[in-house]
């Protein structure tokens, strides 16, 4: 057999370089400890129960498709073409038991996300979660600097949102970013420095959600202040709900990485509660890279901001994970993967450069259960 082609590091390096150039104000780290790296997380465990397994071929490295990714993003600003596959119905796919292959590059990942999103919309899902590592398909949370992860998420999210252009609802889909600075960067890209000199062309960040590139409204969840971050705005009855920003004719909402503080997720919950009051007319909400697993588990101590966290923990349980990638690192790495409406898959990354499916299930198992119960049985 011929050896696999050498990875194309050039295009990805340029992409990462462009993403890392945008300066943001100092803010709390957007990334926390990865449950898969906790003490006792299995990497090489004695064999447990046997299970039927299938091997899924994949490229030699996640960077193998970098050239395709570069070409994909280059043409992203053009209007999406109609007539692409919108995905089969969830009922037919579930009955077939088809396993979606792990994406070989970000171009394929975006395509899978688009199809999963459309099926979720067709199935009437109200809360949808999309979670993926933006800095590399084999990376884990924290491997890439926080601002860089945010920049890369915006790029991939723009590709995912092209599905709203295909179904002709982009003009009525409002995209929320965490704060005014993030929203402005999404609309304008790299800003000039104070002396009026722009950054080098190879380090500029594109305006992925500029008015000429995205036809729908671009907004922010809230403008951080002492009152909003501390929660005193509620105590003083001065809080303005995020839902009040929505227009009656809008058809969907997308929330980008609400992970900096609890207040951002609280705003997302306010949006959901406002929509719940509309009954059958409630519009779907899609959260991208919100790291909701941190709220589902005990990442935040139970006593910390208990008044806010208790309802948020119930809120995140309502989400349907329509696209989900979580990597487990170590000497015996693995990945938890799902593409709606297909089943959940746990895959082992093998040394022969393949992915082996060792577990499948219809219900979300949770990252901790995979690390502590499933992976030890399937070394």
d(CA 312, CA 210) in angstroms, rounded, equals 32
Residue 105's nearest CA partner among 152, 161, 56, 64 is: 64
pLDDT at 204: 58
Closest to 206 measured CA to CA, from 78, 106, 73: 73
Q: Is residue 369 part of a domain?
A: yes
Q: Quickly state the pLDDT bin for 293 (edges 50, 70, 90).
A: very high
Question: What pLDDT was estimated at residue 206?
Answer: 84
Q: Which two tokens stand for residue 338?
A: 């799902």
pLDDT of residue 237: 73
pTM, entire model? 0.73
- Tokens 């979720």 belong to 120
Q: What is the pLDDT of residue 267?
A: 92
Burial class for 340, CB neighbours closer than 10 Å (0-12, 13-18, 19+) = buried
Cα 17 versus chain centre, distance? 21
Band (148; pLDDT cuts 50, 70, 90)? confident
Report for 39-48, 60-69, 125-134, 199-208: range of highest mean pLDDT = 125-134
| Domain extent for 222 | 105-190+204-377
Q: What is the mean pLDDT of residues 225-242?
A: 70
Cα–Cα distance, 36 to 293 (Å, whole number): 12
The residue that leads in pLDDT, 303 or 265, is: 265
Candidate from 191-195, 287-291, 363-367 with smallest mean pLDDT: 191-195
Report the length, in residues, of the chain: 379
Q: Tell whether the model's pLDDT for residue 123 goes beyond 80.
A: yes
For the CA atoms of 231, 233, 235, 238, the dihedral, rounded to the nearest 10 degrees, stands at -160
Which is more confident, 247 or 28? Answer: 247
Highest mean pLDDT among 11-20, 201-210, 290-299: 290-299
How many domains is the chain partitioned into structurally? 1
CB-neighbour burial class of residue 92 (10 A; exposed 0-12, middle 13-18, buried 19+) = exposed
Q: Can you give the pLDDT at residue 22?
A: 43
d(CA 350, CA 334): 9
For the chain, how far is it from start to end, CA to CA, in angstroms?
28
Does the residue 81 lie in any domain? no
Q: What is the 3-state secondary structure (H, E, C) of the chain?
A: CCCCCCCCHHHHHHHHHHHCCCCCCCCCCCCCCCHHHCCCCCCCCCCCCCCCCEEEECCCCHHHHHHHHHHHHHCCCCCCCCCCCCCCCHHHHHHHCCCCCCCCCHHHHHHHHHHHHHHHHHCCCCEEEEECCCCCCCCCCCCCCHHHHHHHHHHHHHHHHHHHHHCCCHHHEEEEECCHHHHHHHHHCCCCCCCCCCCCHHHCCCCCCCCCCCCCCEEECCCCCHHHHHCHHHHCCCCCCHHHHCCCCCCEEEEECCCCCHHHHHHHHHHHHHHHCCHHHCCCEEEECCCCHHHHCCCCCCCCCHHHHHHHHHHHCCCEEEEEEEEECCCCCEEEEEECCCCEEEEEECCCCEEEEEEEECCCCCHHHHHHHHHHHCC
Query: What sign has the CA pseudo-torsion 69, 74, 79, 83?
Result: negative
Residue pLDDT, tens place only, 73-118: 434 433 333 333 333 333 334 444 579 999 999 999 999 999 999 9
Residue 97, domain member (yes or no): no
Q: What is the mean pLDDT of the chain?
A: 77
Q: What mean pLDDT do residues 217-242 have?
A: 76
Q: How many CB atoms lie within 10 A of CB 101?
A: 16
């Amino acid at each position: 057999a011929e050896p696999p082609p050498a990875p194309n590091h050039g295009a990805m390096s340029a992409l990462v370089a462009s993403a890392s150039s945008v300066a943001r104000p100092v803010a709390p780290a957007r990334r926390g400890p990865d449950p898969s790296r906790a003490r006792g997380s299995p990497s090489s465990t004695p064999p447990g129960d046997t299970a039927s397994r299938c091997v899924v071929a994949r490229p030699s490295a996640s960077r193998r498709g970098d050239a395709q990714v570069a070409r994909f993003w280059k043409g992203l600003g053009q209007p999406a073409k109609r007539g692409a596959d919108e995905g089969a119905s969830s009922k037919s796919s579930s009955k077939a038991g088809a396993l979606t292959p792990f994406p070989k590059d970000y171009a394929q990942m975006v395509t899978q996300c688009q199809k999963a999103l459309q099926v979720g919309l067709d199935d009437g899902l109200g809360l949808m979660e999309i979670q993926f590592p933006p800095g590399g398909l084999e990376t884990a949370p924290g491997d890439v600097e926080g601002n860089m992860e945010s920049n890369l998420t915006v790029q991939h999210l723009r590709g995912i949102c092209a599905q709203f252009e295909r179904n002709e609802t982009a003009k009525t889909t409002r995209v929320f970013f965490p704060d005014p600075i993030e929203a402005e960067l999404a609309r304008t890209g790299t800003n000039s420095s104070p002396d009026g000199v722009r950054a080098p062309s190879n380090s500029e960040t594109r305006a992925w959600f500029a008015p000429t590139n995205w036809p729908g409204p671009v907004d922010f969840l809230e403008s951080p202040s002492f009152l909003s971050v501390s929660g005193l705005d509620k105590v003083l009855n001065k809080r303005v709900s995020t839902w009040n920003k929505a227009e009656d004719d809008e058809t969907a909402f997308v929330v980008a990485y609400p992970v900096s503080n609890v207040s951002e997720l609280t705003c997302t919950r306010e949006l959901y509660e406002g929509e719940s009051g509309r009954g059958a007319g409630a519009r779907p909400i899609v959260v991208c890279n919100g790291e909701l697993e941190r709220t589902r588990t005990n990442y935040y101590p139970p006593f910390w901001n208990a008044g806010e966290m208790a309802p948020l923990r119930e809120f995140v349980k309502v989400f349907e994970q329509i696209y989900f990638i979580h990597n487990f690192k170590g000497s015996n790495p693995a990945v938890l993967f799902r593409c709606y409406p297909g089943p959940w898959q746990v895959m082992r990354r093998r040394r022969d450069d393949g992915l082996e499916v060792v577990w499948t299930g219809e219900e979300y198992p949770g990252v901790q259960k995979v690390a502590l119960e499933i992976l030890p049985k399937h070394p």
